[in-house]
Amino acid sequence: MNIYVGNLPYTIGEDELSEIFGKYGAVNSVKIITDKYSGRSKGFGFVEMLNDEEAQKAVDELNDTDFKGRNVKVNVAREKKTDDRDISN
């Protein structure tokens, strides 16, 4: 299951985020989104967990909790929608 984690502290690293979610089960991957020019965190990322039940427990228990002074938003990531506007005009 892919999990969205928003309102992250800009100082948190992928290893630390993996450790937090690892308390709930096996973490497959962690990606904090960064600005492509500055390399600075954009304050959100994604955690992929192998077991859906463990992932749901992590979402339920970590949503609206404090990470280094920031109230993080944790929920199941939605699939990225393709843009269905017709640009051939």
- Which segments within 1-89 are labelled E, that is strand? 2-6, 27-34, 41-49, 66-67, 70-71, 73-76
Taking the C-alpha atoms of residue 6 and residue 32, their distance in angstroms, rounded to an integer, is 10
Q: What is the pLDDT of residues 1-38, one digit of tens each?
A: 999 999 999 999 999 999 999 999 999 999 999 999 99
Confidence of residue 85 (pLDDT cuts 50, 70, 90): low
DSSP 40: -
Taking the C-alpha atoms of residue 48 and residue 66, their distance in angstroms, rounded to an integer, is 20
pTM of the model: 0.86
DSSP 11: T
Compute the average pLDDT of residues 52-80: 95
Q: For residue 63, what pLDDT is reported?
A: 98
Ordered structural domains, the chain, with CATH: 2-76 (3.30.70.330)
Amino acid residing at 27: V
Percent of the chain residues topping a pLDDT of 90: 87
